[in-house]
A and B are shown apart, each in its own frame.
Chain A
Amino acid sequence: MQHQAQPPVTPGTGAAPALALRGLTKRFGGKLAVDALDLDVPAGSFFGVVGPNGAGKTTTLSMATGLLRPDAGRAFVLGADLWADPIAGKRRLGVLPDGVRLFDRLTGLELVRYAGLLRGVERDVVEQRAPELLDALGLADAAGTLVVDYSAGMTKKVALACALVHAPRLLVLDEPFEAVDPVSGTTIRSLLTSYVAGGGTVVLSSHVMDLVERMCDHVAVISAGRVLATGDLDTVRGGGTLEERFVDLVGGGRDLTGSLDWLR
């Protein structure tokens, strides 16, 4: 047995991490997308996963949330082995996947209700939470509109509402700020901040360093399917900014002097 069967424990604290990935590996054809990746997300943290395009962020988060079966490795969600018992593992997990469709022939309200009932939440609880969530996210006016007619930012927000309606303790968000305008972005940010303040754990991926630096207290830098650095924000960025540290770790900031002259 390469990896322990028992849920792992964060060294020093003795507390179980909210999300623990052990040796996650995924190959697409001949290409190794995620390479024996280990990651611990402490409970109650606001955790940012950053990496260049194609680093394996989405693949990793998909394997951590039960959407993509890993070739090897395990994912522990709040102590439960997700791939050994998917239904138990998913119970207190909320997911916002990137680039997937929604049931967009439902109205916003119907969609959030649907997500709640699918999770087995009681009808009267759903009836109370769904309008409240839509209201908090500024979607109250669009509650009766089909999701297919929503803008990109509204779609992102209603998907977030779907991920929250069953009151999860761990929230995994893939690119939650993609295609979101600053106003909606601020709304989402304050909602997530208060969620973490209430004891929840958020894991989000992004390639906007600035944003991760402002919101998150822990980060992991992923490149080529491996974790290059992880820990609390100050430790990872050292003295400089996260962006400097990131380019440093990942490499490849190219000097363009002398090339692309025809563009000027």
Chain B
Amino acid sequence: MIGTLVRLKLTLLRNGLRRSPWQVVAFVVGVLYALSIVATVGGALVALRFTGLDVAAPVVVGVGTLAVLGWALIPLVAFGVDETVDPSRFATFAVPRAQLVPGLLLAGLVGLPGAVTLLLSLAGAAALSRSVPATVLAVVAALVGTLTAVAASRATTTAAAALLRARRTRDVAVLVGGVLIVLLGPGINLIAQRVEDGLDDLAALGRDAAAVAGWTPPGLAWAAAADAAAGRWGTALLRLLLALAVLAAVLGAWALALGRSGTGPAAGGGGPTRATAGGGLLDRLPSTPTGAVARRCLLYWRRDPRYLVAAASVAVLPLLLLVLPLSAGGDPGRWFLAAGPLAAFVTGWSLHDDVAYDHSAFTLHVTAGVRGRDDRAGRLLAAALWQVPLVLVLTVIGALVAGRADLLPALTGASAALLGAGYGVSSVASALTPYPVAPPGGNPFSSPRGAATATLLVQLVTTLVVALLALPALAALLVALLWAPWAGWIGLVAGTGLGALWVWLGLTRGGALLDRRAPEVLAVVSRS
């Protein structure tokens, strides 16, 4: 079964590359990027072999712990998990879960992220290769650590998806975000307080942090290898045993979550749901195609877990600005200035996924012959109806909390420019370079197979363009912040003017593009 699943993954990857030359280009870029990481980080790790163990051990334990945490947590907020081998597809095959889980685990290891992690783990083992038996244990520990990382990513996303699907409430999404911050806080707090004691203590801090991390679940395996290298065999074997227990526990948790979501039917969920009623605002939207699209989008912002996850990540932003400086023991004041512009950037930019979220349901827009401009305007209107007030409130609160009410015009200008540029770029990008996302009812934390690198490329370019288009207002903000607050009034005029211009250009250019390219857009977003 394990062999079959790994072969299936390899076949799917190969067939994905056959689909278009761009997939090959994206894959080659990905491979080069991965190689550069392996060469630099891996090279540095191997070089640690020739330093004292008091340097090598904390570094390996620290990096290893962070890698496992990264695998477990990053997919929840960004990128998602590559669900090339989707567990729910095996629902009908009567595969015992005891065989399915190890198979899916190894299949998850196949691919660029898995390969990079495995190679870096082995480089870490090389850094700790102080004797033959210690090396053997280090290699075993590296394998255990890598498998724990992959399993953790699957366990956290599957569990979060099961929760979201079962309840269909935004509370859970916010909860996940809250837990993330709680986890993030103490770690940053620890580092920040030590940094205050001076950079000289950085090494001591590293050793302390590694000593603590070595007894946490994600750090056990790496610490075991460090113990063996130092000749402390009793502790080494104890930690290795504990690391194996952690791996087993993570796999158990994953299997449990799969039972709730994965091996059931893909649509999942309890009995039929009566829909929540429309509400005042929804009924006041005009009965035009634009109004209809806006109304539908607003209903989706409330009912679709994928939208809820996106909305929650915006809600989490100001919290992040509060928690990060606080845990550093510093004054959060200045950080709050960024709340409005940051929220404007994230919300405006993330609208480019809107058509992809429709998946093949977008067919209805194509058969109905909806004008591109109406489609764009409706989606934008729905987003703006709750995002513009949110950004405004965050901007004002941020300036007031930071005690810089004089910066209000500059901040508002920057927020308006970023939001407008985000909407404009999104309106064009979703017609020009759409990419597939998790389908409706699918795991909101997964990204469709074969699209990861291309997706990353589009995201990178659109981010840069948004920043570039908002540059005049951002420059005015900088001038107002550092030298002359009156420059903020120029920023306000320029920012709102630019924002409106980008929205208008987005609607007209993006609309015309969609009129021409609707069947092609439909083909891309229907994939996966």
Contact = CB atoms under 8 A, between A and B. Distances in A.
* B interface bracket (residues with beta carbon within 8 Å of A): 35 or more
B289 interface: yes
A148 B303 CA distance: 11
A102 B288 CA distance: 20
Summarize B's interface: helix, strand, loop or mixed.
helix
Contacts, number: 112
B367 A69 contact: no
A100 B363 contact: yes
B203 interface: no
Given A100-B526, A146-B275, A105 B367 contact: no
Contacts of B82: none
Nearest to B359: A101
Nearest to A150: B272
Interface in B351-367: 358-361, 363-367
A120 interface: yes
Interface string B280-295: 0000000111011101
A87 interface: yes
A54 interface: no
B361 A117 contact: no
B273 interface: yes
Contacts of A90: 367-369
A89 to B, nearest CB: 8
A248 interface: no
Interface stretch (B44-52, B254-262, B517-525): B517-525
A104 B305 CA distance: 13
Nearest to A159: B364
A106 B359 CA distance: 15
Nearest to B366: A67
Interface string A122-153: 11001000000000000000001110110000
Contacts of B440: 101, 104-105, 148
B69 to A, nearest CB: 34
B289 A118 contact: yes
Nearest to B358: A103
Contacts of B520: 69
B273 A146 contact: yes
A87 B291 contact: no
A91 B371 CA distance: 12
B371 A162 contact: no
Contacts of A91: 369
Contact of B292 (A69, A101, A114, A149): A114
A33 to B, nearest CB: 14
Interface string A54-79: 00000000000111110000000000
B83 interface: no
Given A100-B526, A120-B289, A69 B275 contact: no
Contacts of A205: none
A149 B273 CA distance: 7
A241 to B, nearest CB: 34
Chain B CB count within 10 A is highest, among A66, A89, A126, for A66
Contacts of A49: none
A67 B365 CA distance: 10
Nearest to A97: B363
Nearest to B369: A90
A110 B369 CA distance: 19
A49 to B, nearest CB: 18
B384 interface: no
A199 interface: no
A106 B368 contact: no
A115 interface: yes
* A interface bracket (residues with beta carbon within 8 Å of B): 35 or more
A95 interface: yes
A25 interface: no
A107 interface: yes
B441 A148 contact: yes
Given A87-B369, A123-B287, A101 B272 contact: no
A118 B296 CA distance: 11
A67 B299 contact: no
A162 B272 CA distance: 21
Contacts of B275: 106-107, 110, 144-146
Chain B CB count within 10 A is highest, among A68, A93, A103, A145, for A103
A123 B288 CA distance: 8
B289 A122 contact: no
A66 B370 CA distance: 12
A69 B523 CA distance: 10
A101 B525 CA distance: 12
Contacts of A69: 519-520
A246 B291 CA distance: 48
Nearest to B307: A105
A103 B367 contact: no
Contacts of B368: 90, 115, 118-119, 166
Contact of A105 (B300, B369, B515): B300
B523 A97 contact: no
B361 A101 contact: yes
Contacts of B303: 105, 146
B249 interface: no
Nearest to A125: B287
Contacts of A117: 287-289, 291-292
B287 A105 contact: no
Contacts of B369: 66, 86-87, 89-91, 119
A110 B272 contact: no
Contacts of A163: 367
A162 B364 contact: yes
Contact of A120 (B288, B300, B364): B288
A126 B368 CA distance: 15
Contact of A104 (B292, B295, B361, B371): B361
B364 A103 contact: yes
Nearest to B439: A101
A102 B267 CA distance: 13
10 contacts: A68-B519, A86-B515, A99-B360, A100-B363, A101-B361, A101-B363, A103-B364, A107-B275, A115-B364, A163-B367
Interface of A: 65-69, 86-87, 89-91, 93, 95, 97, 99-107, 110, 113-115, 117-120, 122-123, 126, 144-146, 148-149, 162-163, 166
Q: Closest 6 A-B residue pairs measured CB to CB?
A: A90-B369, A117-B292, A123-B287, A100-B360, A149-B272, A95-B367
